[in-house]
Amino acid sequence: MTAPTPCPLCDKPLNVPADSDGRRFRCPGCSESLRIRMPEDPEGAPLLVGLCEGCGAEREAQDAFCPGCGAALGVQEVSDIEVPKKSARRKSNYTERRHEKSVRKASNWVLAVAVILALAGTVIGMIGRSEGQAALAEFAMEPAETLMLLDDGTELTVGELRSAIESEVLFIFVVNYGIALIMLACWFWSKRSALPALTTALGVYVTMIAIEGVVDPASIFRGILIKALVISALLSGVRAALAQRSASEKA
């Protein structure tokens, strides 16, 4: 290792290996690109040459514009630059990638829920429609004013029963397709603004499960593993989006 050689752009002393002729690196003081030029005399000191970031042409500290491409040049003072340690940069990059992965995973789950609800709504709605048509066929010849006694003791006219069956089938389609559209909108929204989109999707999904559980308590345990995975992914996505927003505000 030779004696420290000053950076030609900011004068920061740099340790230059003796066998690094032609090597390019970035000065930790001014963050500008440099090239090492070793002297012909083995005892001579190495020379550091500043480079243009755009075209790679050699430049001097006093150059305001690149002599090669004409781009404007500028060097910050050493005291104005805070050079983070490599380990800290790596940790920051890893954390950022992890957050992006969590947000992307949560966004994909939102899309998956939208697709599942649309498919389930279609299947359940078609089954309900088929069963409803079969039930209506039994009363096809009955006058609309005829009273029917249901299994729970409720009395309905044939006309009211027909309307109830048709409304129930329509309700299945509307609810499932409606929530599917909301989740699909949240998926598109998450591409531009992850935090509010994922928070909305989480709220809609949990509310849907809660209402379904109130109407049919046994439904809470149906597909419990998928429900847990979706909620967990959405929660992780919301936390990651919050961390991204916090990092962005600090920057």
Domain count of the chain?
2
Are residues 7 and 48 part of one domain? yes
Q: What is the pLDDT of residue 203?
A: 93
Contacts of 246 (CB under 8 A, 6+ apart): none
Domain that holds residue 11: 1-74
Q: Is residue 26 part of a domain?
A: yes
Cβ atoms of residues 178 and 125 within 8 Å: no
Q: Is residue 80 part of a domain?
A: no
Are residues 123 and 59 part of one domain? no
Are residues 65 and 104 part of one domain? no
Are residues 227 and 110 part of one domain? yes
Share of the chain above pLDDT 70, in %: 76
pLDDT class of 186 with cuts at 50, 70, 90? very high
Q: In the numeric block, which tokens belong to residue 250?
A: 């600090």
For the chain, list the strands marked E by DSSP: 5-6, 13-14, 24-26, 33-37, 47-51, 58-59, 147-149, 155-157
Are residues 114 and 33 part of one domain? no
pLDDT class of 148 with cuts at 50, 70, 90? low
Q: What is the C-alpha to C-alpha distance for residues 186 and 194, in angstroms, rounded to an integer?
A: 9
- Three-state secondary-structure class, residue 219: helix
The identity of residue 134, as a single letter, is: A
Q: Is residue 228 part of a domain?
A: yes
Q: Residues 6-44: pLDDT tens digits?
A: 877 777 887 777 677 777 777 887 777 777 777 776 666
Q: Residues 55-105: pLDDT tens digits?
A: 767 777 666 676 777 676 654 433 333 444 555 556 667 778 888 888 888
Q: What is the pLDDT of residue 198?
A: 92
